[in-house]
Amino acid sequence: MTEHMARRSTLKNGVKIVTKTIPHVRSVSMGIWVNTGARDEARHENGLSHFIEHMIFKGTKKRTALQIAKEFDAIGGHTNAFTAMENTCYYAKALDSHLDRMIDILSDIFLNSVFDNGEIEKERDVIFQEIGLTEDSPEDYIHLLSNEVYWGDTPLGRSILGTPENILKFDSTALKKFFRTYYYPERIMVSAAGHLDHDQFLDRVGPFFESIGHGPDSVAFDRVAPETRSGVTLRNKDLEQVHLCLTTKGISITDPMRYAYSFLNTITGGNMSSRLFQEVREKAGLAYSVYSFITSYVDTGMMGVYTAVKPDKALESLEIILKELKKIVDCGLDAGEIADAAEHTKGGFLLSSESVDNQMVRLAQNEMHFGRDLSVAETIENIDAVTMDDVVGLARELFVFDKMALTLLGPAENKTAFEKLLMVS
C-alpha cells in the first residue's frame, strides 16, 4: 500500500494545519490540539485544563449543549476530548460527506464556548464523580499516588483531574482567564486524516482559526523537568489486596533511544510472554495482573511496574520483580527476545496505523515533537535498527534500584523490609 505524505500549512497568526489523505476510507478524523495541559498549571490552577475540556461541550454563543450533541448525532459522527499532562485535544469523526458540518460544529465549540456559570455548577458534580471513580479503583488510584510519590509536589505529580478544593473554587472567570493565557495561536494545531484534500480542508478551516489572536494574558512556555524522589511509601486502605507500583526514571518522548525504551518495556512486562508476566503470574501464581509501563514527556520520563497481590505475598512479589530487573542488568537478553520485541512493536504500530483516528493523533504528535511527519517506512527502519546493546544499555541506565520509588496501597506493613529489598538489589 502506498503511503500518502502529510501536508502542513501555517496560518498568518501561527496556527498549524496538518493533514494526511487516506483515499481508500470514507471517513475523516479531525482534532484541534492545544499544546498545554495539566503540566502548565500552578497548584491553585490544578484541574483547570480538564475542567475547560468538559465545558467546551456545554454551549456556545449559537448552540446549546443539547444542540451540539444532536447535530453530531444527526450526521452519524462522534466527538470527544481528552486532557493530558502536556496537551489537550478536541476531536471528532464523521463521513467525508459531512466534513463541512463537522468542521463548523467542532470549530464553534472550540472558539465560541461561553463557559456559563450555571453549566459550570452542574459540571462540578460530574468531575467530583470522576475523581471518586478513580479513587474507588485501586489500580487507577495507585498510579495517581505513584506519580505523586515519584514527581513530588510538581505538576507531573498532581492529578490531571485536579483536587476537590480547586474544583469548588473554579468559576467562569477562572476558566476564561486560563483559556486566554494558554489557548493562543502558536500553541494550537488542527490535524486531520482520512478522505480529504489538504487545500480544500485548509480553505474550510482557515477562516475559523485565522481570527484567533494573542490575548493580554498569553504566556510563553515554562516547563522544567522536576527532580524525582525515591524510597518506599505506604498508603493503608481497607482492600483485599496490596497494590504495588515501582517507578524509576525514563526518557523523553524525542530521545533517540525511544525505540529501545519500547523494547525494554515489552520484554520486561509489556505482554504475556514478558519476563514479569511469566515469573510473577505464570510460574509463581502470585498475581492476576502484572505489567510494566512507560511514560514520556518532552524533557523527561518514567518507567514502572504494577501488580496486585495478597498482603502476605507483597514482599515476595517485589523480590521477584527486582530479581528479574537485575537479571536484565547483569545477564543481558537473548537474541530471540529482541527479535520478538521488534515484531511485537512493528505489529502494534502497523495495526494502529489502520485506524483513521490513530493516524490523526500520530500526525499531530509528530508535528508537535519533531516538526515533521515520520513515515511508516522510517519508523519501521528505526525499529529494525534497535540492537541488544541498546536495550541492555538502557536497562543499566534506568534500573538503579536505590533510586527507585515504591508505592503500596492497601493493608501493607513492614516498610523497613521493602526498603531493605530496594537497597540491596
Indicate which residue of 3, 41, 45, 53 is catalytic.
53
Q: Which residues pair with 304 in a beta bridge?
A: 247, 293
Find the largest Cα–Cα distance for the chain.
65
Nearest Cα to 276, choosing from 243, 240, 310, 319? 319
Distance (Å, whole) CA 231 – CA 94: 49
- Could you tell me the three cell numbers for 93? 469523526
Distance (Å, whole) CA 271 – CA 1: 29
- Grid cell 454563543 is found at 61
Task: With beta carbons less than 8 A apart as the criterion, state whether 335 and 388 touch.
Answer: yes
Nearest Cα to 59, choosing from 6, 125, 110, 135? 110
Task: With beta carbons less than 8 A apart as the criterion, state whether 184 and 218 touch.
Answer: yes
Q: Vertex 408, ends 39 and 162: CA angle to 5°? A: 25
Distance (Å, whole) CA 81 – CA 71: 17
CA 313 to chain centre: 31
Q: What is the DSSP string of 254-315?
A: T-TTHHHHHHHHIIIIISTTSHHIIIIIIIT---S-EEEEEEE-SS-EEEEEEEEE-GGGHH
Task: With beta carbons less than 8 A apart as the criterion, state whether 194 and 358 touch.
Answer: no
Nearest Cα to 307, choosing from 330, 276, 337? 276
- Asked if 135 is an active-site residue, the reply is no
Q: Which residues are catalytic?
A: 53
